[in-house]
Amino acid sequence: MPPAPRVTAPAFAAKKKRGEKLAILTAYDYPTARMIDSAGVDGILVGDSLAMVVQGHETTLPVTLEQMIYHAEMVGRAVKRALVIVDLPFPIHHLGRHAVVEAAGKIMKQARVQAVKLEGGVEQADTIASLTRAGIPVMAHCGLGPQSVHTLGGYRVQRDRERLMADAQAAAGAGAFAMVLECVPSDIAREISASIEIPTIGIGAGGDCDGQVLVTHDLLGMHSGYVPKFVKRYANLGEQVVSAVAGFCDEVRSGKFPGADHEFQ
């Protein structure tokens, strides 16, 4: 059978037009990206959440551009079908048009991925337009922007309807091909989704968004920290790993492993 065609950035808007929901997950390494891709997601996000779920930081702020590229390269090599999107790490998209196009270009060249994501709406419209003009598809990220956790005073639901609507309109008008809506009340997310042509990808924004994204470590139960209300756990791999490793330790110590099946005669 020929390989399934690659999901493209314009295909996201086409799916919204047809009323098809988009499923997106994060990945930060080759084996995880392969599994997620073969399960049929539409998009794989190399999110700056890797600072928290892989590097063990308290916020997404510490991850660097070089580290994002290191992880994006592994994901870019693994994925054959889904659209791969890479987060621009703090504070690159606040450093001016030249700096942001240079950084996004570096990500696209080295990691061979298809799009970038950045946090912000109205204040990032010029940046989104510059990247789009440079041929770089941009996914916007409105609502709760984790990179602004210190100005927001925590990871809180964003309820300013006027501001959220203005951000969404500005990002869509500037050429973003899709938009994450994070921690936004469902009625506002519904209104935004109905008012723009590009798909909204919700995380804590209710079921009327045009798609959903989750952090894979949350979905698989591999992250032991705080679990937000919007997360649904589909597996508990963290517990399975601990139990498998404890089994290995027991069998090594008792002499049960390796047995005859695992020896060379």
Residues annotated as catalytic (active site), given as ranges: 182
For 224, residues 6+ apart whose C-beta sits below 8 A from its C-beta are 238
Q: Which member of 42, 48, 167, 210 binds ligand KIV (CB under 6 A)?
A: 48
> CB within 8 A of 59, min separation 6: which ones?
51, 52, 146, 149
With binding defined as CB under 6 A, does residue 113 bind ligand KIV? no
Q: Which is nearer to ligand KIV, 16 or 141 (CB)?
A: 141
Token match 């690659």: residue?
Answer: 6
Among 213, 219, 220, 222, binds ligand KIV (CB under 6 A): 213
- Apex 216 CA angle, 213 and 220, nearest 5: 125
Q: Does 210 bind ligand KIV (CB under 6 A)?
A: no
107 binds ligand KIV (CB under 6 A): no
Query: Least distance in Å: CB of 45 to ligand KIV?
Result: 6
Please state, in angstroms and rounded to a whole number, the distance separating the CA atoms of residues 164 and 118: 16
Question: x/- binding map, residues 139-158, to ligand KIV, per CB under 6 A?
Answer: --x-----------------
173-202: contacts with ligand KIV (CB under 6 A): 180
Residue whose tokens read 């899709």: 178
Task: Say whether residue 49 binds ligand KIV (CB under 6 A).
Answer: yes
Binding to ligand KIV by residue 45, rule CB under 6 A?
yes
215 binds ligand KIV (CB under 6 A): yes
Please pick, from the candidates 22, 203, 209, 219, the single residue that binds ligand KIV as defined by CB under 6 A. Answer: 203
The residue within the footprint of ligand KIV, chosen from 43, 47, 89, 137 (CB under 6 A), is 47
Amino acid present at 178:
A
Binding mask 85-104 for ligand KIV (x = CB under 6 A): --x-----------------
Q: What is the contact surface with ligand KIV in residues (CB under 6 A)? A: 26, 45, 47-49, 87, 141, 180, 203, 213, 215
